[in-house]
């Protein structure tokens, strides 16, 4: 069914192989080509091992039928492709996190039997995206950690990236209007303006580098896809988020030189996470619908669980002011402890393959929405024109040649708009039967 499209993928990968930066990168591309030609899953595993071990290049890529978020059964991978260039300065700064991976594992709140004794092979880079397609475009992730296979991660490691220019663009494109509408106090607004970008970047790094790489499955227990089934993705994203939330206010961030004030970064991150998980992400959902997307289920589950668990201590207070609902954090230190408690439980569920406990967490906290609150949030959001999701237009990279027909420079141009970009793609790259 997809032969013509896959043949074109192979065509470009063959060209990429000829300009590979090193032998490991070339080997990875060679195995990826072989996989596309055969569909052999053993070759796919071999490719992922080769890809994760190819860490020396300045240019890297993600390519394949990878993430299963859109499949309720967790089997059908969506095609995605990202080509990225290392941001050398930021990667050097943030490598401090990956270098300390064992410290984070040892100091996590998870049970000792679920901790890795030897965290291996974590590489972390901040990158600038040159182009994206498939499931990565036009609405793109801000961080990626692969491969997904637990046995490869345990034996060979993983690659984590933060998409630096994407994070920057999101920050530039946003307005303060929604922040001022949904944040409770001026102090909360000022913290977000001062630390919001940095706290988002740090949480993304901790999520991708430490979160997804942490913990281990008990010997004899199946993979999360087998044991946790349709809840595996939401629980894995929750686990990674909780690792980031637990460590972001830690003094370790200051000692590593990546946070000016761990306390303020933590407060900003906690305010933003609870505000998003319980309130602002609801603008993306139609009134009457349940939460379906894995990341959104994760965020609501985490936020609602800590809210409910901390009610007796008034850790997070639900306040109605002038007919508007806010969730206000009264005790940040206790909230951190609650994040740690939930992290311990979510890791236990994954490590032991406890389907019923995982199902109960997601179904009881992550799926259903308070309809009165939802209606209020949508009404408060009506005055804003910007869409709840952002999309990106890919740059057009135009080579500049000298008299010997050698490329001497690249000019970057932008399409007029998204529609003209897609029309241009259809004319140049379509793999429908009339392709010529």
Please report the pLDDT score of residue 175 as a whole number: 62
pLDDT at 405 exceeding the cut of 50: yes
- The answer to whether 163 and 142 are in contact (CB under 8 A) is yes
pLDDT, position 432: 57
Does 397 or 173 have the greater pLDDT score? 397
Residue among 123, 149, 150 nearest 55 (CA): 123
pLDDT score at 375: 98
DSSP letter string, 92-122: HHHHHHHHTHHHHHHTSSS-GGGS-SS---E
Note the pLDDT of residue 261. Answer: 94
pLDDT in tens, 230-269: 999 999 999 999 999 999 999 999 999 988 899 999 999 9
If we measure between CA atoms, which residue out of 268, 257, 252 comes closest to residue 185? 268
What pTM was estimated for this model as a whole?
0.85
Computed over every residue of the chain, the mean pLDDT equals 93
- Residues 276-325: tens digit of each pLDDT: 999 999 999 999 999 999 999 999 999 999 999 999 999 999 999 999 99
Q: What is the pLDDT of residue 128?
A: 93
Domain boundary assignment for the chain: 58-392, 393-436
Average pLDDT, integer, range 114-140 = 90
What is the mean predicted confidence (pLDDT) over 349-377? 98
Q: Are 10 and 431 in contact (CB under 8 A)?
A: no
Distance CA 156, CA 152 (A): 5
Per DSSP, the three-state class of 35 is helix
230: number of Cβ within 10 Å: 17
- Cα–Cα dist 342/355, whole Å: 16
Query: CB–CB of 288/378 below 8 Å?
Result: no
Q: Region 361-384: what's the mean pLDDT? A: 97
For the segment 47-66, what is each residue's pLDDT rounded down to a tens digit?
999 999 999 999 999 999 99
pLDDT in tens, 315-350: 999 999 999 999 999 999 999 999 999 999 999 999
270 versus 416: the higher-pLDDT residue is: 270
Backbone phi, psi, residue 398, to 5°? -105, 115
Asked if the model's pLDDT at residue 435 lies above 60, the reply is: no
Tell me how far CA of residue 86 lies from CA of 39, 91, 150, 203, 371, in angstroms.
Answer: 30, 7, 26, 20, 45
Answer yes or no: is pLDDT of 70 > 70: yes
């Amino acid at each position: 069914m997809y032969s013509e499209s896959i043949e074109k993928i192979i065509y470009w990968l063959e060209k990429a192989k000829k300009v590979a930066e090193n032998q490991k990168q070339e080997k990875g591309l060679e195995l990826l080509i072989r996989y596309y030609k055969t569909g052999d899953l053993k070759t796919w595993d071999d490719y992922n091992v080769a890809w994760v071990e190819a860490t020396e290049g300045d240019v890297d890529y993600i390519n394949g039928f990878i993430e299963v978020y859109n499949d309720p059964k967790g089997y059908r991978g969506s095609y995605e492709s990202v080509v990225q260039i290392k941001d050398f300065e930021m990667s050097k700064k943030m490598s401090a996190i990956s270098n300390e991976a064992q410290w984070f594992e040892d100091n996590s709140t998870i049970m000792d039997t679920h901790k890795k004794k030897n965290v291996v092979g974590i590489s972390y880079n901040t990158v600038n995206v040159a182009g994206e397609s498939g499931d990565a475009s036009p609405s793109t992730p801000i961080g990626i950690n692969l491969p997904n296979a637990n046995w490869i991660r345990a034996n060979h490691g993983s690659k984590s990236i933060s998409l630096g220019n994407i994070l920057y663009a999101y920050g530039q494109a946003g307005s303060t209007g929604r922040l001022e509408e949904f944040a409770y106090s001026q102090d909360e607004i000022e913290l977000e303006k001062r630390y919001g970008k940095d706290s988002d970047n740090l949480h993304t790094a901790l999520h991708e580098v430490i979160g997804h790489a942490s913990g281990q499955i008990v010997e004899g227990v199946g993979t999360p896809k087998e044991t946790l089934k349709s809840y595996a993705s939401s629980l894995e994203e929750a686990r990674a988020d909780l690792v980031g939330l637990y460590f972001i206010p830690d003094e370790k961030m200051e000692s590593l030189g990546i946070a000016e004030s761990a306390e303020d970064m933590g407060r900003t991150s906690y305010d933003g996470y609870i505000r998003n998980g319980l309130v602002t992400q609801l603008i993306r959902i139609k009134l009457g619908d349940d939460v379906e997307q894995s990341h959104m289920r994760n965020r609501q589950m985490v936020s609602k669980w800590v809210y409910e668990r901390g009610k007796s201590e008034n850790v997070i207070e639900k306040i109605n002011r002038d007919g508007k609902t806010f969730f206000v954090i009264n005790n940040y230190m206790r909230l951190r402890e609650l994040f740690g408690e939930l992290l311990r439980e979510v890791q236990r569920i994954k490590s032991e393959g406890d389907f019923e406990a995982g199902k109960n967490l997601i179904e009881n906290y992550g799926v259903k929405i308070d309809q009165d609150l939802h209606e209020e949030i949508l009404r408060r959001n009506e005055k804003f024109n910007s869409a709840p999701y952002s999309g990106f237009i890919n740059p057009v990279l135009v080579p500049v040649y000298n008299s010997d027909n050698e490329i001497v420079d690249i000019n970057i141009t932008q399409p007029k708009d998204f529609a003209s970009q897609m029309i241009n793609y259809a004319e140049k790259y379509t793999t429908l039967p009339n392709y010529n």
